[in-house]
Amino acid sequence: MTQNLNHKAGNTAEETSHIALLVGEEVLNLISNDRFKQEWDELYQQCEWATAFQSRGFVTTWYNVFKGDYLPLLVKSEHAGKLSGLLTMAISICGSAIPDFENKSINIVGAGEYEAEYQCWMATHTYGEQFIKSALSEMMKCFPKANILFRFIPPLAPLNWSISDPKWKSMCVVQSHKRPLLDLRDPNAKKVFKITNQFKTKYNRLKRLGEVRFEKLSDTREFTEALKELTLQFDFRQGCMFNKNQFRDKPQKFKFMVELFRQGLLHATILKVGEEIIASMVAVAGKNWVHLQGVNTHSPFYAKHSPGILHFLHLGQSLAQEGIEVFDLTPGGDEYKERFATIHDIVHTLIITPNPTFRLKKYIKKKLHIRLIKAGKRPMTFELAIEKRKYLLRSALKAGVKTLLKEQLSNIIGSQKPISKFRLVRLANTTTALAIQRDSLNDLLCYTSAKGEISRWEFMEDAMQRFESGAHSYTWVDDDCLMACAWIGGANTSKAKEDFTEPDGVAALHHIYCYPAAKGKLHTFLTAVISQAARDIADKQLIAYCEADDKATLRSIKEAGFTDAQI
């Protein structure tokens, strides 16, 4: 799809610009053209507001890896036969056949969507505003009902047209966001990542557990191996905090990260104790900036040592030594980001829509965000709380009205289910072929909520709290489904009403979970847990706890070799 446009660039004489919109295979064919590759690279270096997320390596890798989920869309302009403007976008198709988009309400997103922190167009210095207006006009001509969404637009990209031009002002919603930056060129930046006495104490405690090493990954094979562990840490924490499992739900993301690393677009570092990775940062890098967008993890098993902050402090020192100019902490209002920021600037989200209702919704959301910020509240935290309440309500309704009313009544009257306590007197003579794992994040990520059981979000959140309290999980997975789980040790968590803390010489087995289809093998699982735990808890006596009305679990506990104990 092509169109010739006349425009004026600055004070130069009127020139002819050739603008073209390409979709799908047209885009994939163009990005493999050697001449176009070279011109893209040159425009990227010339464009003062372009970030690593507009680089050819980032965009083309994303287009190719996720081509089953997104339809590539590209608008380019040429002056005198040379590339002068480029806008890379996409339409979500979710693996289905490509429908007729022209007469449907669709969302057109910046290339990379959530993988790209910043989404914008690239153009020569005097052509930035003219190009984006022409590119958007062409897109809306081809997709008249489309909503066009840009996540965050960098500060230097021309945006005045969206509020000053009547045509665009009537269709645009522009929202500003404060962006924290760690300017490593500032001599005072060294103070930000100085390890204080508080963290020196934590660091010294880690050193008692093994050699502590901060490493930058430079070999693709080494990075690929490390990424396997990092994806588990990442998905586990994301599942606890946001009910999302990005790598598990989209396996292509692993390949995407490896390809970016291979092209030198990722800055990857890890913090290790012995050979165990306890924290990491895999960040997109380009133009001597490192962006906090990618993979940011820490191990829940070492949470009390604040491994994430310790890694951050080492990372700041390392970036300064490498000559990186700016560590972009990215928008979001997170407390830890503000702690490390030395300066701030403003980025913008931009929505262009012909739909008055859609625009009104986004405008109301913008005003709500402004009011929350003025009230000292973080918009993302507020939205997450609303989303979580909706999710838990849906889960409760799915479990059944009877279960919901029972739980609500229990909360109102403050009742607590009676707990039965058992002590291990013998190990059942049962040979088990069950493969159980200790402290396996991968196994816990296999949890599926059955009717009447707690939701996946609650399960993951509870698991994280138990790990952070010092408890250990024992799990059994079959066919990518968590069949059974039990916990040993750990202090009482903030949500639990029961306290399973035991005196010295005693270890508590508690919070036994079993998938409904595996109830018949629960005692076999518990026998395997006891056998494994005997090596982990040494000479401690093992005590088991169970809700008194859970008859199936009570029976399995006794079959595994426990007998009633005083409570």
Mark 263-273 as b/e (b = at least 16 C-beta within 10 Å). Answer: eebbbbbbbbb
pLDDT more than 90, % of the chain: 70
Between 413 and 308, name the one with better pLDDT.
308
- DSSP assignment of 60-116 equals HHHHHHTTTTEEEEEEEEEETTEEEEEEEEEEE-TTSPP---TTS--EEEETTGGG-
124-146 per-position pLDDT tens digit: 888 999 999 999 999 999 999 99
Query: Which pair of structure tokens corresponds to residue 148?
Result: 């066009």
What was the pLDDT predicted at 540?
A: 83
Task: Give, in words, the CATH class of 416-564.
Answer: alpha beta
Q: If you average pLDDT over residues 465-491, what whole number do you get? A: 93
At residue 551, what is the residue type?
A: K
CATH number attached to the domain at 2-158: 3.40.630
Same fold, 2-158 and 186-324: yes
Torsion of CA 76, 82, 84, 88, to 10 degrees: 30
- 147-153/107-110 β-pairing: parallel
Q: In degrees rounded to 5, what are phi and psi of residue 146?
A: -80, 145
d(CA 77, CA 82): 8
Between 410 and 503, name the one with better pLDDT.
503
Q: Quick one: 516 exposed, middle or buried, by C-beta within 10 A (0-12, 13-18, 19+)?
A: exposed
Averaging pLDDT over each range in 76-80, 264-268, 527-531, which range is the top one? Answer: 264-268
In the predicted structure, residue 29 carries a pLDDT above the cut 90: yes
Q: Are 254 and 227 in contact (CB under 8 A)?
A: yes
Nearest Cα residue to 380 out of 335, 332, 346: 332
Q: Give the pLDDT band (50/70/90) at residue 425.
A: confident
CATH architecture observed for domain 186-324: 3-Layer(aba) Sandwich (3.40)
d(CA 362, CA 370): 12
Exposure on the CB side of residue 82, measured as CA atoms within 13 A: 8
Domain boundaries, the chain: 2-158, 186-324, 389-415, 416-564
What was the pLDDT predicted at 495?
A: 46
Q: Which helix or strand (DSSP H or E) is residue 422 part of?
A: strand 419-424
